[in-house]
Amino acid sequence: MPTPSLTMHHLQELFRLHFTARLSQKKIALILGLSPGVINKYLQAARRADLSPEEADRLGEAELRARLFSSASEPAWIKRPPDFALIHQELKRKGVTRQLLWEEYRESSPGTAYSYVRFCELYQDWARALRRTLRQVHVAGEKLFVDFSGQTRAVTDPVTGREWQAEIFVAVLGASNYTFARAAKSQTLRDWIGLHVQAFEFFGGVPKFVVPDNLKSGVTRACRYEPLLNRSYELLLEHYGTFGLPARPLRPRDKAKVESGVQVVQRWILARLRHRRFFSLDELNAAIAGLLGEYNTRPFKKLTGCRQSAFESLDQPALGPLPAHPYEFAEWTRAHVDPDCHIVVEDGFYSVPHQLCGRKLDVRLTDSVVEVFFNRARVALHPRGEGKTLPEHLPPGYRAYLEWSPEYAIAQAAAIGPAVHELVSAILAVHHPQQFRSAQGVLALGRHFSPERLESACRHALDHGLRSRRSVHDILTRNLDRLADPAAVAPLPAHANVRGPEYYQSLLEGEPNAESAHD
């Protein structure tokens, strides 16, 4: 059996009893509960180190041991302890065992190595100190621990007879251990958000912090120091006025409450339902709710009351109030603005301001609306469903094109003049797609000609039975609209060679005039 290592108290008592009290080694061994051989070996080490009683009282434990067992005076019976830190790291390597490391240690310390059994005991004592944990003190209303059970429950489709597995969500309040459990179709973001909303309603309030595991529906990037929450999950927590504190990766003790709650739900609820067959999610949740009520009212084994009474006295008064309206689930995505001023999302095209063409925007999708954001400012809002184009989002030219309709064309024509109104109405009376473009063409002539000339040209076209844009265009370019207006025809200048209408009238009547007589 190895020589026991004496504590500092034993060493000081040993030297006091020997040097001051002058007791024999046998009596010292009886008083300290040690063997006479151990007492003799320590006293021999003190003599070799020339240690005085005053020095034994004055030196600290490390200095005293170094003085007693220095390399020069260290007796052969003192064991050399292994480097447990190195051993701990080596054991992490594949294929490395304690037996192998002990053999290497024994070869490096011939004659002073511990036995294999003692070697393992000392290593276990050393490693046990590494696994010390801090006992968590849970303040009332402070933390809600949430996670999925990992164990699913089968649900049978009543139509097809096919089974699918429902996920079990568990939430536990820290101070009272009051537990909520509910089944969901999946662990997707939509179900994850919906389960939180139901949990807050079940507790009737909101804790200061929510401690989730690092599943993708809740945490986009897991990190010990700066985890990144999912955008939708973060907005849910903001809506309820709480904060997310994700558990550190690979640190289940950070959420020990819900780990214990998951185990209890598996044993107390799911195990009891193992022989039942469920045909809907609602039926399964009704069964879970019944057993959950029994569990929360089950008396504690070592404390007075139950989880329900502890919740009512501790957590419930400390919870924050629920918001006026429950959170509406929303998904976030990114969308590129096409040259036609629209983005493409799941179920359609939605317009955005034309100034944002070519950019990538944030899109928030709920069951009822589609919200588009640029630099965290909302730039568009559409009802969810079929895509929609808002005229104010388009450039002015596009906007004018969208506003065109037969009624709009007739109203524009009436604003110019009655002849234009009559001609455009006559063109649109023929129900043909091309006629609408023809009416547009007539009104477009107003960009190049005055309203007065366009009115006159349309009147000329109506008088001659013309009903097309080309006819009106030819009238204007050839100035025929001016001939139709007598005031627009300039009078002929006076000249001796210019013969008036009287001359030609006389020729028709057979009356010679002076000019003809002269000829």
Phi-psi region of 362 (alpha: psi -120 to 50; beta: other; left: phi over 0): beta
Q: How confident is the model at residue 39 (pLDDT cuts 50, 70, 90)?
A: confident
The model's pLDDT over 327-354, given as tens digits with 9 standing for 90+, comes to 888 777 889 988 888 888 876 888 889 8
**19 vs 138, which has greater pLDDT?**
19
Which of 43-57, 90-104, 285-299 tops mean pLDDT? 285-299
As a CATH number, domain 143-318 is 3.30.420.10
Strand partners, 299: 306
Instruction: DSSP letter for 484, please.
Output: T
Q: Which two tokens stand for residue 459?
A: 């009147």
Taking alpha carbons only, the member of 419, 479, 478 closest to residue 443 is 419
What are the extents of the domains in the chain? 8-68, 84-130, 143-318, 331-396, 404-488
Quick one: average pLDDT of 56-76? 62
Instruction: DSSP letter for 440, please.
Output: H
Which residue in the block uniquely carries the two structure tokens 């309040």? 173
Quick one: average pLDDT of 150-168? 89
- Alpha carbon 180 to its chain's center: 23
pLDDT at 283: 93
Q: How many CA atoms lie within 13 A of 331 on its CB side?
A: 15
pLDDT at 484: 52
Amino acid at 509: E
- Give the separation between CA 504 and CA 513, rounded to whole angstroms: 10
Taking alpha carbons only, the member of 194, 202, 195 closest to residue 308 is 202
**36 vs 288, which has greater pLDDT?**
288
> In three state form, how does the secondary structure of 218-285 look?
CEEECCCCCCEECHHHHHHHHHCCCEECCCCCCCHHHHHHHHHHHHHHHHHHHCCCCCCCECCHHHHH
Q: In this model, does residue 275 exceed pLDDT 70?
A: yes
Q: What is the full DSSP assignment across 16-69?
A: IIIIIS---HHHHHHHHT--HHHHHHHHHHHHHTT--HHHHHHS-HHHHHHHHT
**217 vs 299, which has greater pLDDT?**
299
- Give the separation between CA 236 and CA 243, rounded to whole angstroms: 10
| Structure-derived torsion over alpha carbons of residues 464, 467, 472, 478, reported in degrees to the nearest 10 | -40
The model's pLDDT over 193-210, given as tens digits with 9 standing for 90+, comes to 899 999 999 999 999 888
Q: In this model, does residue 168 exceed pLDDT 80?
A: yes
Question: 3-class DSSP state for residue 395?
Answer: coil
User: By the 8 A CB rule, do 311 and 178 touch?
Assistant: yes
Indicate the burial class of 446 (C-beta count within 10 angstroms; 0-12, 13-18, 19 or more).
Answer: middle
Query: pTM for the whole thing?
Result: 0.49
Share of the chain above pLDDT 90, in %: 10
**361 vs 48, which has greater pLDDT?**
361
Share of the chain above pLDDT 70, in %: 78
The model's pLDDT over 468-493, given as tens digits with 9 standing for 90+, comes to 888 898 888 888 877 755 555 556 66
**200 vs 266, which has greater pLDDT?**
200
Q: Which two tokens stand for residue 184?
A: 């969901």
Pairing mode, strands 243-244 and 228-229:
unpaired
pLDDT at 73: 44
Question: 3-class DSSP state for residue 404?
Answer: coil
| Cα angle for residues 510, 514, 519 (degrees, 5° grid) | 85
- Alpha carbon 12 to its chain's center: 63
Query: Is residue 436 within a helix (H) or strand (E), and if so which, with residue range?
Result: helix 433-444
- Give the separation between CA 49 and CA 69, rounded to whole angstroms: 8
pLDDT at 69: 65
pLDDT at 1: 42
pLDDT at 313: 85
